Amino acid sequence: MTFSIVIPTYNGEKYLEEAILSALRQNRKADEIIVYDDNSTGPTKQICRKYFPEVTYYFNHLGPSGFVNGWKKAIVLAKSDFIAILHQDDLLYPSFLEEAENALTLNPDVKHLFTLCDYIDENDLIINCGEKSVLKGRSTDKIIRYSGLDYVRAYQKKYNKMPHIHRCPGVITHRSIFDDGCNYNAEAGHIADDDFFYRIGQFTQVIGIMKSLGSFRIHKESETGRIGDVILVRQLATDYIYQVRQWQDSDYMGEIEMSYFEHYALKFVRRLFLYSTRLKDKNLKEKALMLYSEIHQLKFSNAHKLEHYKLETSKFLSSFDEVTNQFPETLKRIYKCININLIRGFLLSSEVINSTDFYKKRLIILAPHPDDEIFGLGGFIIQNLIKKCEINIIYLTDGEDSRTWSSKEEIKRQRISISDKVCKSVGIAISNINRLHLQDGSIPKFGQRGYDEAVRSIKELIDLLEPDAVFATHPLDYWPFDHVACAQIGMEAVSQSKHKTQLWYYWVWVWYNLKPWQICTLNFKKMYRVDIRKQMVEKIELKNLYLNSATPDGKPWSGLLPKALLKAFEYPVEIIERII
């Protein structure tokens, strides 16, 4: 029994050497280690030369050929019985080949094996432990044998925050599987590895080692991280429709498995409509309409009535938004004012949102930009300071991208100075202000470069300050996207912190971005209406400190905000929602 580890690479020099070393440090030495370079422009060749002759290096002068074709070409070069693909940014643990060989020896008829894997960040820190997520405290010495369909079901199942039972690191396949025509398929797109795992059960049974023997890296420069949210959603919508089309007339997949593909096809097409509306992108809408048409041609089952309803709603909203975009600016402003007042009227009159007499000894408030803390929670902050609560503000950015002055450095300097004055005016000590200095407009979201560092910074402050509650902007703020990233970072930091605390979201742009028909999607059971009538005068004064501090040509350093939104900041209520 022989083993090849093949490492396809393209401009992956940042993590490539770590991947090579993890292949070289196997307790049971690999019979062959191949690096297949798909025409990288960086120092890949020099890195591989350091490990010759243990590592064989191949260079494709005609590349790049695409990541799936790179995998296939690397597989063709392998000479061993079993082939393990190791991506350029992933790792294998030292006992991987040793334990795989033992399992395959006990199951000589099986031609495909997987192990669990940990999710790591760009600094090799574990984000999610595979064994904890999948096994939940059960034994880690178990080897499970799956039929083809059982393997599909295990792979489709979610495990905590892990979307699948395994990823590519830790997978071994017999070369005869590839020779028999079951290979990675470029037509499957971004989920070509998933597609391969779905099909392989038609050729062999599968064994799984219930132990983490590899690491799957999440970072901004990966194939997923690099392409951005919008392109990723467009690609995944296409890919899951392909899966439905591929399996619809097959006897292999059952209703449960088909339901999984249909669910994600509907979900990502719906997201594509939402992105096209939010970004006012006609090309995105055309793509969404084309995929929408495909869904109806494929005649999806009725198992996803809610998803179908959401998709139809998103399509309608996309068309409605296109009509409103043709309104003159005056009508747009009137529409927004009516929109906000409808939401306000509902929230003020509804019994499902309760006023709260909130009191804690110490709070952390995460503000994406200097001013969000006052716009969203000014009255609430004043209330808690009166009750002798310690308020700590963490500004994620310095707000330098407000676009009201030519020099970003000057905008940054001014906004830091103004926020210091605001905090001093309201009674927050300068020692209780922390600034992360993240790039305004580019606060990293999950999976993007810098996300883990931002989470770690917030987590360390939570561990140090031990607050009773942490407040972050609400993900329904939608735009600016920094507010959505703030919500994600806050959620992750509170989850990872040793100090157990509450997490709350607060409204800033939700007032402006929420549509009246979206009110029914709100979680009323966890939402609270904070009565700030007694604090209104002081809140407006603090708001004006931000808005009346102007550039030499008269624009506020905080940026030009819609009048309808500014009006919402003067309502005698603030909305908060308990998350954790």
24-56 per-position pLDDT tens digit:
999 999 999 999 999 999 899 999 999 999 999
Report domain extents, the chain.
3-219, 228-324, 344-578
Q: Which two tokens stand for residue 309?
A: 């309803």
Q: Is the pLDDT of residue 349 over 90?
A: no
Q: What is the Cα–Cα distance from 509 to 220, expressed in whole angstroms?
A: 27
Establish whether the linkage from the previous residue to 64 is cis, with ω within 30° of 0. yes
Please state the rounded mean pLDDT for residues 357-375: 91
Per-residue confidence band for 321, with pLDDT thresholds at 50, 70 and 90 = low
Q: Match 């997987």 to its residue by tokens.
A: 114
CATH 3.30.1360.120 for domain 3-219, yes or no, is no
| pLDDT tens-digit series, residues 200-224 | 999 999 999 999 999 999 887 776 6
Reading across the β-sheet that carries 469-473, which strands appear in turn? 354-355, 527-531, 573-578, 502-506, 469-473, 362-367, 390-397, 433-438
Q: Which one is predicted more confidently, 537 or 478?
A: 537
Q: Residue 469: its pLDDT value, please?
A: 95
Q: What is the Cα–Cα distance from 227 to 221, expressed in whole angstroms?
A: 9
Please state the rounded mean pLDDT for residues 104-131: 94
Please state the rounded mean pLDDT for residues 372-393: 94
Q: Residue 340: its pLDDT value, please?
A: 64
> E strands of 93-179, at which residues?
112-120, 126-128, 143-146, 171-174
Percent of the chain with pLDDT over 70: 88
Q: Residue 222: its pLDDT value, please?
A: 73
Please state the rounded mean pLDDT for residues 137-157: 88
pTM of the model: 0.62
Q: What is the Cα–Cα distance from 6 to 71, expressed in whole angstroms?
A: 8
Q: Is the pLDDT of residue 66 over 50?
A: yes
If one counts every other C-beta atom within 10 angstroms of the C-beta of residue 565, the result is 16
Percent of the chain with pLDDT over 90: 59
Kindly report the CATH class assigned to 344-578. Answer: alpha beta
| pLDDT tens-digit series, residues 298-316 | 877 766 665 665 666 666 5
| pLDDT tens-digit series, residues 272-306 | 888 887 777 778 888 888 888 888 888 777 666 65
Q: What is the Cα–Cα distance from 66 to 85, expressed in whole angstroms?
A: 16
Q: What is the Cα–Cα distance from 457 to 446, expressed in whole angstroms?
A: 15
Q: Residue 526: its pLDDT value, please?
A: 84
| pLDDT tens-digit series, residues 405-443 | 778 899 999 999 999 999 999 999 999 999 999 999 889
Q: What is residue 462's three-state secondary structure?
A: helix
Please state the rounded mean pLDDT for residues 545-550: 90
Q: What is the Cα–Cα distance from 35 to 30, expressed in whole angstroms?
A: 13
Q: Is the pLDDT of residue 567 over 70?
A: yes
Q: Residue 274: its pLDDT value, please?
A: 81
